[in-house]
Amino acid sequence: MKGQKVVVGVFTYLDDALKGIQVAKDNDKDYQVYAPTYVPALVHAVDSKRSKIAMISLTGGICGLIAGFALAILTGLDWPMRVSAKNIVSIPAYIVVGYEWTILWGALFTLNGMLLLCRIPNPFRKVGYDPRFSDDKYGVVIGCEPDQVDQIKEKLAHTGADEVMVKEGL
C-alpha cells in the first residue's frame, strides 16, 4: 500500500463501508477493506474481476491426470509382471489412479494457488488491521501521505464510520 500513513475507518454497517470505499476510490488512493465475513457486494466493490484460481486448479488437474496414468503405466512397464490374463498396461484399471490424482493434484494446486493469491501464510499483520474486523466490524484502510491524513480522515468520518484511526503505513 502506497503511503507512509494509513487512515482506518471502522464500520458497523455495510452500506457505510461501501461509502468508505468510494472515498478511497474518489481520492485515487490505495486502500484495503476488511470484513468479518464474505460479503459479495463488498468484494465486488473492491475488485470485480474473476479470480485466477480456476486456471491454477485446471493446470493441477491436468498435470495430475497425466502423472497418475504415467505412474501406473511406467511402473507397470518397469518390471512387467502378468497378473491373471490382464495386459501389462491395463488402461481401464489405471483410470482410478488417473482420476484420483487429477483431484489430488487439482486440490493441491488450488491450495497453493489460494495461498499465493491470498498472500498467506504471512506472519505480518496487515497495516491498519483491527481485531474487531474479525468480529462484526467492517474496516476500510486508506493509504496516504502524512499531509493528506486529515482530509481523508474527515471524509471517512462523514461516511458513518464508528471510529476513524490513523496508523503508520509501510
Among the listed residues 106, 117, 109, the one whose alpha carbon sits nearest the alpha carbon of residue 50: 117
Smallest separation, CB 153 to other proteins (Å): 20
Using rule CB under 8 A, residue 91 touches other proteins: no
Residues of this chain, 145-164, that bind other proteins according to CB under 8 A: 160
By rule CB under 8 A, what string of x and - marks binding of each residue 23-52 to other proteins? ---------xxxxxxxxxxxxxxxx--xx-
Measured CA to CA, the distance from residue 15 to residue 42 in angstroms comes to 9
DSSP character for 47? Answer: -
- By CB under 8 A, name the one of 72, 152, 161, 164 that touches other proteins: 72
Tell me whether residue 132 or residue 148 sits nearer to other proteins (CB atom): 132
Smallest separation, CB 16 to other proteins (Å): 6
Measured CA to CA, the distance from residue 157 to residue 23 in angstroms comes to 10
Tell me whether residue 28 or residue 81 sits nearer to other proteins (CB atom): 81
What count of other Cβ atoms lies within 10 Å of the Cβ of residue 57?
19
Among the listed residues 51, 14, 52, the one whose alpha carbon sits nearest the alpha carbon of residue 34: 14
Interface with other proteins: number of residues (CB under 8 A): 79
Using rule CB under 8 A, residue 131 touches other proteins: yes
CA gyration radius, the chain: 25
